[in-house]
Amino acid sequence: MAHPTGKYADFEGLREQAVALRREGLSRRQIRDRLHVDNNDILNRLLQGEPAPDWTRRPNAKDDLRARARELRLQGWTYDQIQVELGCSKSSISLWVRDLPKPERRTPSEQARLAGRMRWEHELAVRDEQRRRTKEAAAREIGPLSDRDLFLAGVALYWAEGAKDKPYDRRENVLFVNSDPGVIKLYLAWLDLLGVEPERLRYRVMIHMTADVEGAKRYWADLVGVDVSVFQKTTIKKHNPATVRKNVGATYRGCLVIRVSQGADLYRRIEGWWTGMVSGITTPPSSGKV
């Protein structure tokens, strides 16, 4: 593969060899040494238009900014708008997006609408970040739950969400229905704390007729750690044409119904615990202390 020293007489033939080596994944240095090309200008000409292999590219801290700048440019953003959004220089933006088509010129009213939309999207992003930080900080305030913490949380949870006995309808059953996986996990942990044997639990899915019934059953079975075959007959909710359902999509899995068999005595204790919690309130409701 050598060539006449300093001559580069057969440039096209040399270029074919350089391109072939580049496409095999060789670096510039490897190609230079293989072909004995010591002149960088000549080497640049030989490799013109041939991208470097991925393994030779060094990670760049601005790669994410570059990708975002190109994305915004394709959406029709100007250099000024991209600069405000990403906080980088126009010269960098120009280098990153110069191969992309220029956005169409907009009328002043269109520019104003676009600017307003961008401001609103930025505001929404700021709010989302504030929500995330607040939630994460609040979660850290809780820490591990003691048995008493879990006990009281479970009593309150059941009294808010579980079935309750009525003077006109005596049903001392421990029956709990919810669609929130976290709520279900806490409730089951509470039952375990109370010493309720897993064999006493009965599971059933309650779901809309247009949903993925079998998929929902598998999801809930995996969550509670049982085989789907132990589930009782699914309760199907029929569609009402007069209503517009919002609980749709892949994340809709209906509700899980959990019943504790032979639960009359447990129900009476739950009601008693709740009464005791209410009676035990000593702090005035207006104190505002946590």
Round to whole Å and give the CA distance between 10 and 13.
5
The answer to whether residues 76 and 45 belong to one domain is no
Closest CA to 19 of 46, 43, 39, 57: 46
What's the CA dihedral at 235, 240, 246, 247 to 10 degrees?
10
β-bridge pairing 201-208 and 255-260: antiparallel
Round to whole Å and give the CA distance between 173 and 260.
7
Round to whole Å and give the CA distance between 208 and 230.
21
Domains contained in the chain, number: 3
Residue 1 falls within a domain, yes or no?
no
The answer to whether residues 33 and 89 belong to one domain is no
Residue 3 falls within a domain, yes or no?
no
Q: How far apart are the first and last CA of the chain?
A: 80
Instruction: Report the pLDDT value the prediction gives residue 243, as an integer from 0 to 100.
Output: 63
Instruction: Report the pLDDT value the prediction gives residue 129, as an integer from 0 to 100.
Output: 92
Per-residue pLDDT of the chain in tens (290 residues, 90 and over written 9): 444 445 567 888 888 988 898 888 888 888 888 888 888 888 888 888 888 877 666 555 577 888 888 988 888 888 888 888 888 888 889 888 888 888 777 677 877 887 788 788 888 988 999 999 999 999 999 999 999 999 999 999 999 999 998 877 778 899 999 999 999 999 999 999 999 999 999 999 999 988 889 999 999 999 999 999 999 999 998 867 656 666 667 789 999 999 999 999 999 999 999 999 999 988 766 655 55
Question: 266, 175 in Cβ contact below 8 A?
Answer: no
Residue 5 falls within a domain, yes or no?
no
Instruction: Report the pLDDT value the prediction gives residue 1, as an integer from 0 to 100.
Output: 46
The answer to whether residues 126 and 197 belong to one domain is no
> What SS3 state is found at 171?
coil
Q: 201: domain range?
A: 147-287
Residue 6 falls within a domain, yes or no?
no
Instruction: Report the pLDDT value the prediction gives residue 246, as an integer from 0 to 100.
Output: 63
Q: Decide which of 106, 139, 172 is a domain's last residue.
A: 139
The answer to whether residues 70 and 48 belong to one domain is no
Q: Decide which of 19, 34, 56 is a domain's last residue.
A: 56
Q: Decide which of 107, 139, 171 is a domain's last residue.
A: 139
Round to whole Å and give the CA distance between 34 and 17.
10
Instruction: Report the pLDDT value the prediction gives residue 138, as an integer from 0 to 100.
Output: 94
Residue 162 falls within a domain, yes or no?
yes
Taking residue 184's Cβ as centre, other Cβ atoms within 10 Å add up to 19
Q: What are the backbone angles phi and psi of residue 255, rounded to the nearest 5°?
A: -120, 150
